[in-house]
Structure 1
């Protein structure tokens, strides 16, 4: 995971779509109908975590965005925020580039280091993401030396503060899991006994990565039933090998959604219990050298096998 750690060194960003409903939908009497319309529309759209095509984005940002728009992706989750810019572009410039292609920016993987973040830096991060129009910023990773009870608790306390700052500008903070959060530490399972327990549910939502949760021996639907409403974002990535639960970040069998063994239709059907608002395809392995072919297979399989 060293490549991902370096990629996220400053922070990462992601985005996907919002549905414009007009002033009529904003009237109090129509709020429930508007919320339902957003939920239904978002649920039937597919987003892409741009980390899936990171090399292509670095080589040709605009050409890469056009390719995924042509495939039918409606939302994007960014993975390229640094120094106040997104993929080297000013927030308004990148936002326009995405929206001109008929897509929306929803989410951003945004790294907050274990040593903490100053409130000034958090405010800068929040303002930049508000300018690009995201609904979510998501903490995507914890470095291996920090995977202990004391560090987890300190980080979560910091993330709650970041969540307050994000909320003030209309952004929901979130956390994206791997498998190591489910490895027992000092008699605790961090994901359940520390993360979900100590994260303020109003300030931090969960972006559940189905591949990593499954590799850790977890059943996503059982998780939704136990913690309803806590999982506003889904990450769909598939695995080609059924294995015993493991907790090292080994990802050699990642494959396109629908090409492996995970039952995404069952997971998707439980979305209301989960509280899901958006789902994103993610392929850490960049299609094993064929990134666009890989994400094309994923969206085609989701539409034909999951949404059907």
Structure 2
């Protein structure tokens, strides 16, 4: 007899399957990665030179989910919110998220994000600098207020980590303060897996300690010697292991990100997409 609990567990598995594991019934080791996203900072110069043309190239490669980033031409690379919404939809892609700052233009930033129809608005750096427990508690308060603003517009607020958040004061990891001092239903985290690993930490440890708190990921490989990003399969991150723990983290969307390249950025973008397509989970 199927219970409600069984149904919910099955529904949860199917929801994850729609994102990552379309062949879930075939069992572990045969599922494929689907709905690959990309952080547009990866192709920042290309977006500034020709936003529409670059989006077309990404669509042709196979990318489906997009995350924007602030640029010299504004939040959407010179495009208007409704304009980028239509362009991406026409290309079969969805603008899911955007990297922004909490500043004097915050209200306009939230309003613009609502116009694009995106689900998430991600603060990309600390709005108040200072590597102290006191400052991180202050930042947590700022995030809570920003999250309320976003909620009113139907948007989910989150924060994207770098390397410095994993420093400690008096033995306390500063990043953990942001998690502990904010409402998990209101303030989400976009975990940059590469930076976590570069600091000597394991993302899975965070998935275990804060299950469901990380609906967004930045998926990047890292060269530990150079301390910079690299193409998938050339660095220190076990991408397959990360994907196998997606459900535990609460991941709904992930965005491929690479900041440094061995050659042309678009070549790296193609390599990373093809690497994921060849992967079985």
Q: What is the TM-score of this pair, normalised by structure 2?
A: 0.85
Pairs aligned (count) = 262
Alpha-carbon distance in 1 for matches of 2:157, 2:246: 19
Which residue, out of 76, 98, 105, partners 1:108?
98
Q: Which stretches in structure 2 are left out of the alignment for 5+ residues?
A: 1-6, 21-33
The alpha-carbon distance between structure 1 residues 195 and 85, as it changes in their structure 2 partners (threshold 3 A), is: closer
Shift, 1:146, TM fit: 2.8
Give the 5 Å matches for 1:140-289.
140-142=124-126, 145-192=129-176, 194-241=177-224, 252-285=227-260, 287-289=261-263
Q: Secondary structure of 1:108's partner?
A: strand
Q: Secondary structure of 1:265's partner?
A: helix
- 2:25 is aligned to none
Deviations 1:246-288 (A, max 9, x none): xxxxx65311122223111111111111101011100112x24
Alpha-carbon distance in 2 for matches of 1:167, 1:82: 28
Shift, 1:149, TM fit: 2.5
> Which is worse superposed, 164-173 or 52-61?
164-173
CA contact (8 A) 2:68 2:75 kept: no
Alpha-carbon distance in 2 for matches of 1:172, 1:126: 10
Alpha-carbon distance in 1 for matches of 2:45, 2:141: 34
CA contact (8 A) 2:40 2:67 kept: yes
CA contact (8 A) 1:48 1:73 kept: yes
Give the 5 Å matches for 1:109-148.
109-113=99-103, 121-142=105-126, 145-148=129-132
The alpha-carbon distance between structure 1 residues 35 and 178, as it changes in their structure 2 partners (threshold 3 A), is: same
- 1:13 is aligned to none
Alpha-carbon distance in 1 for matches of 2:97, 2:46: 19
- 1:6 is aligned to none
CA contact (8 A) 1:73 1:299 kept: yes
Q: What is the TM-score of this pair, normalised by structure 1?
A: 0.78
Shift, 1:290, TM fit: 1.0
The alpha-carbon distance between structure 1 residues 271 and 185, as it changes in their structure 2 partners (threshold 3 A), is: same
- 1:302 is aligned to 276
Shift, 1:135, TM fit: 0.6
The alpha-carbon distance between structure 1 residues 157 and 83, as it changes in their structure 2 partners (threshold 3 A), is: farther
Alpha-carbon distance in 2 for matches of 1:124, 1:33: 41
What is the Cα-based RMSD across aligned positions, in Å?
A: 2.5
Alpha-carbon distance in 2 for matches of 1:58, 1:210: 26
Alpha-carbon distance in 1 for matches of 2:170, 2:190: 25
Q: Secondary structure of 1:254's partner?
A: strand
Shift, 1:75, TM fit: 0.7
Q: Which stretches in structure 1 are left out of the alignment for 5+ residues?
A: 1-29, 244-250
